[in-house]
Amino acid sequence: MTKQAFNFKDYIRPRFFPHIWCPGCGHGIVLGSLLRAVHELGLNKNEIVITSGIGCSSRISGYVDFHSLHTIHGRALSFATGVKLSKPSLKAIVPMGDGDALAIGGNHFIHAARRNIDITAIVMNNRIYGMTGGQFSPLSGSGKKATTAPYSTIDRSFDVVELAKSAGATFVARSTVYHANECKDLIKKGISHKGFSVVEILTQCPTYYGRKNKEGDAIQMMESYKTNTVKIGSKKLEKNPNLIQRGVFVENTDIPEYCEAYDKIIETAMKGKA
């Protein structure tokens, strides 16, 4: 290997460590995977902009030594859209929590997907609002317990992959923190893809989701990702269709990317003026 070996200390702001996440929180593993993905792609730290909203997951923007914007709840994608349109050469990465992405920012999420703007949205799905004390989120699913649902929730959950697919995202993938290497590979693919990429990563919140739903500690929750997920189209699905599928669901390169399409419009509009 000619490339310099990976050392995460080259990519973080060590003065903010140890981070604020709880012991066993999966968000740290996602952070590690993101840094490895950036390293393997050989990206310059100055060509990446991390935009995040509010929530545990959104703290990532403070920990990484890239350009970073810590913005308002749910609107990280809108800020990233602005950044990307003004400087299309930057790689825009948006780490989001499940609530940030699909409840507060649900509208921004589907419209960013519809526009197919070259942003990589990493949806860190821990199925709860951890930072504010364990309220149920649109991904908790029915029958789950949370601080605000002591007798279990009645709301059904979104399927991030299906939602992103139908909203028009041109790259959609899913992985879990147990499969940290796969997670890194999918983030890499997402960043390299030209167009709106959604990478859903199932991550554990042992403090609220795990404790409320008696799913055990971080280790048991990670073990459950091993047993409850399979690769897309696995034969195990015939026996148990409830298993969660992992892998790349959509990879479409035919649809024009928003910034490029916008440049064409400018070109057309400028014709005849000169």
Partner 1 sequence: MGKGKTVKHLIDKEWCKGCGICIHFCPKNVLEFNKQGKAKAARPEDCIACKLCELRCPDLAIQIIEEPGSRK
Determine the Cα–Cα distance for residues 53 and 153; give it in Å rounded to an integer.
25
Q: Least separation, in Å, of the C-beta of 186 and partner 1?
A: 14
Assess 218 for contact with partner 1 (CB under 8 A): yes
In which order are the strands placed within the sheet that holds 197-202? 67-70, 48-52, 91-97, 119-125, 197-202, 171-176, 244-251, 229-231
Q: Which is nearer to partner 1, 109 or 178 (CB)?
A: 178
Burial class (CB in 10 A: 0-12, 13-18, 19+), 7: exposed
Q: Least separation, in Å, of the C-beta of 69 and partner 1?
A: 22
Assess 38 for contact with partner 1 (CB under 8 A): no
Assess 12 for contact with partner 1 (CB under 8 A): yes
Chain positions 129 to 188 lying near partner 1, rule: CB under 8 A, are: 177-178, 180-181
With tokens 């990670």, the residue in question is 222
Interface residue with partner 1 among 72, 85, 219, 261 (CB under 8 A) is 219
Assess 70 for contact with partner 1 (CB under 8 A): no
Determine the Cα–Cα distance for residues 83 and 166; give it in Å rounded to an integer.
25
Q: Which is nearer to partner 1, 13 or 156 (CB)?
A: 13
CA angle 189, 193, 196 (to 5 degrees): 115
Assess 210 for contact with partner 1 (CB under 8 A): no
Assess 104 for contact with partner 1 (CB under 8 A): no
Do residues 122 and 186 touch, judged by C-beta distance below 8 A? no
List interacting residues with partner 1 (CB under 8 A).
Answer: 7-8, 12, 17-19, 21-29, 31-32, 36, 177-178, 180-181, 206, 217-219, 222
